[in-house]
Amino acid sequence: MKYLFVLLTLLFCIVSANKPRLYTRIPKYFVDNRVSNFLNENRITNCFEFRETETNLLLKCWRDNKLTDVSIDINPGKKEYRPIYGLSLSI
């Protein structure tokens, strides 16, 4: 009985690690407002910038009187293959 409990607990942990994400649409031309609101909601102020690459902006900012690192990174969307642990597919 103890082994069954441990097995079910481990199975639950593995399944809950891949929780689904729900993306909500931001209306066209309002992306900059949403990003600004996000920074304001998180009390990000007084920033210095460094452009690491064409698609990565690094910021050093104040948040609650502490220096905080902020990174804005643009990654191209791509489909990811996520195998189910313990299972394989052969053709």
Residues 6+ apart with CB under 8 A from 4: none
Segment 73-83 mean pLDDT: 74
**Tens of pLDDT, residues 16-64:** 556 677 889 999 999 999 999 999 999 999 999 999 999 999 999 999 9
For position 21, what pLDDT does the model report? 79
- Evaluate whether residue 21 is within a structural domain: no
Number of domains in the chain: 1
Assess if residue 18 is contained within a domain. Answer: no
Residue 54 lies in a domain: yes
Residue 90 backbone phi and psi in degrees, to 5: -130, 140
Single out the residue of 81, 82, 86 nearest to residue 10, CA to CA.
Answer: 86
2 inside domain = no
CB 24 within 8 A of CB 38: no
pTM of the complete model? 0.60
Domain range for 58: 45-74
